Structure 1
């Protein structure tokens, strides 16, 4: 991971730690926001078609959305249970282990594929669109055991953001399960971060193409772009936390601009940008009650919609 990025992340983490104990009311609101965003994006990356608002309805009210599959609803509910499971692990200070990784996966596939939930694959697989061929099924248990051992060997010598990103990549590389590997890897990554007082890092669905691109680059022996990609997600979460906890701070919001300011960089109205933010089509976050985005996010949206039109 880029040393300057690590320095920036760890600097913001120190700022967050100085504010502890954090106000329970604000933390509760932040968790609500993050858990929704995390669930929506992690599922959307894997092809779930529920929108951000629909995901919110399923989580908050248990509403079944018309024309959406039962599997998609279970993916939302299961991910929520996966997050709650992480919270229990953190409270109990449970050690990371092979069985713990299987338990996390078991939450993800509950009521979707109970026979495979928490079970290492017994067949060889290919990943669609990827050149990487996952290890043979007979090596899975030993490789996951080696992964856990690697974690404890490097825990004190590698920064928390780096080791969390590495664990994410290494688990996806092994691809130990028939389904649900990405969600499990992202939950494991965030477990490591949250155990150390970091907010969860959210890989945005809008960055899906880039996410898979940096994973492919890592498979080819260049993991730095993937590590930096995850690092920026960690930094983003810290920025959101700090700005929520210091609403009266005169400091700039670390690259974020208001939607009104964003209208200068496109031909869209404030109302339309607000709609894009609410529906998850424009990468944006809420600081207090106001949606904020970045110039890069606006440019990315313009590029993607331009490609679609062509």
Structure 2
């Protein structure tokens, strides 16, 4: 019997959450938050950073941005951690491109995605049942348990058949889902994650790969991908355990919905706060422009950096990047241009020095 039936009935669904996710997504899409330069890229980096952090990575979002964009390795982080992040970022780029093509899900596609996730950190294994390579996305040929004292996952001999059934199910569900029903679409993606991670097809990388498939389906259905934050790791894992033990996947679905709603609302609130600050800075600049024609020639992107420096002459490029949500290379280019225009100068080193306001 199917132990993981998608439960979208009145009895099991949390209707309040379903209403809240529609409201949160609509507010998010109409807020203008996604119109920011490089926002989609930074959002992806956030997904990657949190997903690997759940698996033990200590690389931060800023360190990942420098690693991905500038090729600058994170000091004090192991090579394995950094390669884990690079592999997952590449896997996401591929999966999101594929999502736009409305793909058919097959065991081979799932193995391909897992191979990308485990490209540099996978290993070869030899067991009584045979030889397999996790860096190639091959299904496990050994049994695994769900942590210390946890229940064992599906026997390895049953994995291929279970994955076949999973793919048949998900293709049917995607084909008939009403894409205008936002809550049902999100719940389907969370159910996909729950079912696949419960099968546990691989010896390693199951969490990263199944969250990747979840996000891929969300993109395919026109949704904003959800982020499982590292701060919520305990609740996230417990929700999966409780769903398995109670044979009720809506436990995990509700947890994922709650946190995604909170994430969307937080990003809108943060954007609106920044927009208020930028509006205030524009007012300041307009006042200055009326008194000094030389300021008129500064682009708004430079005005924002200039105001940040005016407010804090000891601000670093990394802090400018975080405050204004721009890349570090953009921050450095802006300060270089401001120096050339004669608005600022630098005193001391990049880390311990300060900016001198010339105008």
TM-score by length of 1: 0.72
Is the CA contact 2:57–2:81 (under 8 Å) kept in the aligned structure 1? yes
For residue 143 of structure 2, what is the aligned residue in structure 1?
124
Instruction: Tell me the C-alpha RMSD between the 2 structures.
Output: 2.9
Is the CA contact 1:79–1:108 (under 8 Å) kept in the aligned structure 2? yes
- The structure with more radius of gyration: 2
For residue 86 of structure 2, what is the aligned residue in structure 1?
77
For residue 133 of structure 1, what is the aligned residue in structure 2?
152
Is 2:205 aligned against 1:180?
yes
**Structure 1 residue ranges, 4+ long, deviating more than 4 angstroms after superposition:** 14-17, 22-25, 240-250, 286-289
For residue 152 of structure 1, what is the aligned residue in structure 2?
171
Is the CA contact 2:100–2:219 (under 8 Å) kept in the aligned structure 1? no
Is 2:46 aligned against 1:37?
yes
Is 2:89 aligned against 1:64?
no
Structure 1 residues 244 and 191 mapped into 2: Cα distance closer, same or farther (>3 Å)? Answer: farther
- Cα shift at 1:197: 1.7
For residue 227 of structure 1, what is the aligned residue in structure 2?
253
Structure 1 residues 188 and 214 mapped into 2: Cα distance closer, same or farther (>3 Å)? Answer: same
Distance across 2 between alignment mates of 1:167 and 1:122 = 23
Which deviations, in whole Å up to 9, do the C-alpha atoms of 1:228-264 show, x marking residues without a partner? 11112332454356558877999xxxxxxxxxxxxxx
Equivalent residues, number: 252
- Cα shift at 1:125: 1.2
Is the CA contact 2:48–2:85 (under 8 Å) kept in the aligned structure 1? yes
Distance across 2 between alignment mates of 1:288 and 1:217 = 41
Is the CA contact 2:51–2:229 (under 8 Å) kept in the aligned structure 1? yes
Distance across 1 between alignment mates of 2:149 and 2:61 = 28
TM-score by length of 2: 0.63
Structure 1 residues 287 and 163 mapped into 2: Cα distance closer, same or farther (>3 Å)? Answer: farther
Structure 1 residues 225 and 34 mapped into 2: Cα distance closer, same or farther (>3 Å)? Answer: same
Is 2:106 aligned against 1:89?
no
- SS where residue 146 of structure 2 aligns? coil
Instruction: Select the residue among 221, 232, 237 that pairs with 1:207.
Output: 232
- Cα shift at 1:94: 2.0
Distance across 2 between alignment mates of 1:72 and 1:186 = 18
Distance across 1 between alignment mates of 2:28 and 2:76 = 43
> Mean alpha-carbon deviation: is it higher for 40-49 or for 58-67?
58-67
- SS where residue 134 of structure 1 aligns? coil
